[in-house]
């Protein structure tokens, strides 16, 4: 869980905007990005010094080894949150919330689909690429960025469970959602035609969603962690036999040609992202709001039915329900008179419902749920994204 590094851009290399000084030069970039080494690139983003940012993260990490492996239960028991405050006024001055100076951390390389989601929510934001989802969260907690964007589910493979776990482990608030139709392109170095390709590199999901075209090309497939990372890899190694499945924006950033646009096989290509911040937004009723909660229940007959009824009774639509085993205490042992003792999974339930916390019906529903839920936390109340 240790924070490894924040990847940062400098924009000195005309080709793809990377300053590679100080990084491990060769080898697969995604190994590099996930490698054990702590890599900090220098960074200059609107007066925001990435170098000290990296140092700040390291110090916190080094001084905090005992907090590694924070357990769910401990988090659940925590009643209040406190984030480290900025060290100086100058740190704060670049944190205006007018939409143009918003800094958003995300997991992935520049040009990834998550970065697209950040730009959809905040067209003028500055994005800060991170190695891991965890790093994107920590960047917000340490005031290095204002918000984080993370994918939470997509129509091709459902919920991204790891990210649900992160929502609970950290104390950030959901302040928005973004729905994005993912459009895949086949990219290659300038001058390379599709008949030259022997292999195509991308995220496994992107490869499998583009199966028809890739089968037609008869290329081999290589899995990597990030679509834009694959583009960066092909460019930095000058691979003329390799194509990439990534976004049109990645083509632009890394200087690749688009050989084919919209190569996904079917229409199940919508990804939903959450925008997270240190502070919740004030719920209103002037636009459609959604509220996300997580709770646990005691055993008992029909208790989940009872939990769902608090919403149904008040005509509140649920848009999503998700259950996750509790990591720390996954099994509950109960005495069963027939078979001796039995073990059950203990679950956390995540629910999204269509109502604003400013509405009495939502407040009443949660008040009602609180009467029998053993734990309840509001993850956020935010305007629904109804656009695609
Ligand atoms: C869909 O979700 C899976 C994880 O559940 C993720 O690996 C994949 O990248 C997502 N696909 C898209 C197109 O975002
Ligand atoms: C998903 O992909 C299909 C096939 O390429 C495309 O026709 C459709 O418009 C896409 N869906 C959305 C919502 O963009
Ligand atoms: C619940 O969802 C249905 C279908 O989308 C919609 O017609 C209805 O207005 C919603 N009800 C409320 C109370 O929001």
CB 347 within 8 A of CB 341: no
Is the dihedral angle over the CA atoms 127, 39, 25, 131 positive or is it negative? negative
- Residues 292 and 335 both lie in one domain: yes
Cα dihedral 271, 276, 281, 287 in deg (nearest 10): -10
d(CA 146, CA 64): 22
- Residues 228 and 311 both lie in one domain: no
Final residue in a domain of this structure, among 82, 103, 124: 82
Q: How far is ligand 2, taken at its centre, from the CA of residue 262, in Å?
A: 8
Q: What is the CATH number of the domain that holds 289?
A: 3.30.70.260
How many domains would you assign to the chain?
A: 3
Three-class SS of residue 276? Answer: strand
Residue 59's H or E segment, with its range, is helix 50-62
- Quote the tokens at residue 157: 């493979």
CB 141 within 8 A of CB 346: no
- Residues 297 and 366 both lie in one domain: yes
In ligand 3, the atom with minimum distance to the C-alpha of 316 is 13
Stated pTM of the model: 0.71
Three-class SS of residue 175? Answer: strand
Distance spanning both ends of the chain, measured CA to CA: 34
Q: Which of 177, 30, 201 is nearest to 109 (CA)?
A: 30
Report CA 216 to chain centroid distance, whole Å: 33
Of residues 114, 127, 145, 271, which has the active-site annotation? 271
Domain extent, residue 38, equals 7-82
Whose CA is closest to atom 6 on ligand 2?
267
Is 295 annotated as catalytic? no
User: Hey, how many other C-beta atoms are within 10 angstroms of the C-beta on 135?
Assistant: 23
Strands 147-154 and 103-107: parallel
Tell whether 269 is covered by a domain. no
62 burial via Cβ count (<10 Å: 0-12, 13-18, 19+): exposed
CB 290 within 8 A of CB 177: yes
Strand partners, 44: 49
- Quote the tokens at residue 308: 């769902």
Give the number of residues written for the chain. Answer: 388
Res 342: pLDDT: 53
Res 152: pLDDT: 94
Tell whether 142 is covered by a domain. no
Tell whether 115 is covered by a domain. no
d(CA 366, CA 95): 33
Residue 271's H or E segment, with its range, is strand 270-277
d(CA 187, CA 265): 17
- Residues 217 and 293 both lie in one domain: no
Max alpha carbon distance in the chain (Å)? 73
Could you say which DSSP state residue 149 is in? Answer: E
Tell whether 117 is covered by a domain. no
Final residue in a domain of this structure, among 82, 109, 138: 82
In the numeric block, the tokens 């080494």 are attached to 37
Strands (E) across 278-339 are located at: 289-297, 318-325, 331-336
Cα dihedral 30, 36, 41, 47 in deg (nearest 10): 110
Listed as own residue / partner, the contacts of 155-162 with beta carbons closer than 8 Å and 24 or more positions apart are: 155/268, 155/269, 155/270, 155/271, 156/205, 156/209, 156/268, 156/269, 157/205, 159/322, 161/324, 162/133
Tell whether 356 is covered by a domain. yes
In the numeric block, the tokens 């000195």 are attached to 12
Strands 126-130 and 173-181: unpaired
Tens place of pLDDT for every residue, the chain, 388 residues? 333 333 333 333 333 333 333 333 333 222 223 322 333 332 323 223 332 333 233 332 333 333 333 333 333 333 344 554 444 333 333 444 445 689 999 999 999 999 999 999 999 999 999 999 999 999 999 999 999 999 999 887 788 888 888 888 888 999 999 999 888 999 999 999 988 899 999 999 899 889 999 999 999 999 998 999 999 999 999 999 999 999 999 999 999 999 999 898 876 678 999 999 999 998 887 889 999 999 998 877 788 999 999 999 999 999 999 988 876 665 555 555 555 555 556 788 999 999 999 999 999 999 999 999 989 999 999 999 988 7
Tell whether 342 is covered by a domain. yes
Res 100: pLDDT: 65
Res 99: pLDDT: 55
- Best residue for ligand 2 mutational test, from 154, 180, 181 (most atoms within 8 Å of Cβ): 181
CB 15 within 8 A of CB 255: yes
- Which residues form the pocket of ligand 1, taking CB atoms under 6 Å from any ligand atom? 113, 151, 154, 156-157, 160, 182, 203, 205, 271
Is 271 annotated as catalytic? yes
Three-class SS of residue 349? Answer: strand
Of residues 137, 184, 273, 349, which has the active-site annotation? 273
- Which residues form the pocket of ligand 2, taking CB atoms under 6 Å from any ligand atom? 181, 262, 264, 266-267, 269-270, 388
The radius of gyration of the chain from alpha carbons, rounded to an integer in Å, stands at 23
Final residue in a domain of this structure, among 47, 82, 117: 82
Res 144: pLDDT: 94
In ligand 3, the atom with minimum distance to the C-alpha of 317 is 1
Is the dihedral angle over the CA atoms 363, 368, 371, 372 positive or is it negative? negative
- Residues 377 and 300 both lie in one domain: yes
CB 311 within 8 A of CB 388: no
């Amino acid at each position: 869980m240790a924070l490894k590094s924040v990847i940062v851009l400098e924009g000195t290399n005309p080709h793809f905007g990377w300053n590679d000084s100080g990084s491990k030069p060769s080898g697969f970039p995604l190994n590099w990005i996930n490698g054990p080494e702590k890599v900090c690139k220098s960074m200059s983003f609107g007066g925001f010094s990435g170098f000290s940012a990296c140092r700040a993260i390291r110090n916190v990490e080094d001084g905090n080894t005992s907090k590694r492996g924070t357990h769910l239960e401990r988090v659940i028991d925590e009643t209040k949150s406190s984030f480290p405050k900025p060290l100086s006024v100058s740190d704060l001055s670049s944190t205006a919330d007018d939409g143009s100076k918003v800094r958003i951390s995300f997991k992935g390389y520049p040009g990834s689909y998550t970065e697209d989601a950040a730009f959809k929510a905040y067209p003028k934001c500055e994005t800060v690429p991170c190695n891991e989802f965890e790093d994107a969260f920590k960047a917000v907690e340490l005031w290095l960025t204002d918000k984080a964007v993370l994918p939470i589910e997509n129509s091709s493979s459902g919920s991204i469970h790891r990210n649900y776990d992160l929502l609970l482990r950290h104390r950030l608030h959901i302040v928005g959602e973004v729905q994005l139709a993912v459009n895949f392109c086949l990219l290659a170095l300038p001058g390379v035609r599709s008949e030259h390709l022997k292999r195509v590199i991308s995220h496994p999901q992107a490869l499998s969603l583009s199966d028809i075209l890739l089968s037609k090309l008869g290329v081999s497939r290589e899995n990597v962690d990030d679509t834009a990372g694959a583009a960066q890899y092909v460019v930095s190694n000058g691979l003329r036999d390799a194509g990439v499945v990534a976004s049109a924006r990645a083509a632009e950033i890394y200087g690749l040609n688009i050989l084919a646009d919209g190569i996904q096989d079917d229409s199940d290509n919508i990804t939903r992202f959450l925008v997270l911040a240190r502070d919740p937004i004030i719920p209103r009723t002037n636009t459609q709001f959604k509220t996300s909660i997580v709770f646990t229940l005691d055993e008992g007959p029909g208790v989940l039915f009872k939990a769902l009824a608090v919403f149904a009774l008040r005509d509140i639509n649920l848009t999503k329900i998700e259950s996750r085993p509790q990591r720390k205490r996954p099994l509950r042992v109960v005495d069963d008179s027939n078979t001796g003792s039995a073990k059950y999974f203990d679950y956390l339930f995540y629910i999204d419902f269509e109502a604003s916390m400013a509405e009495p019906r939502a407040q009443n529903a949660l008040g009602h749920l609180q009467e029998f839920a053993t734990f309840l936390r509001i993850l956020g109340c935010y305007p629904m994204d109804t656009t695609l």
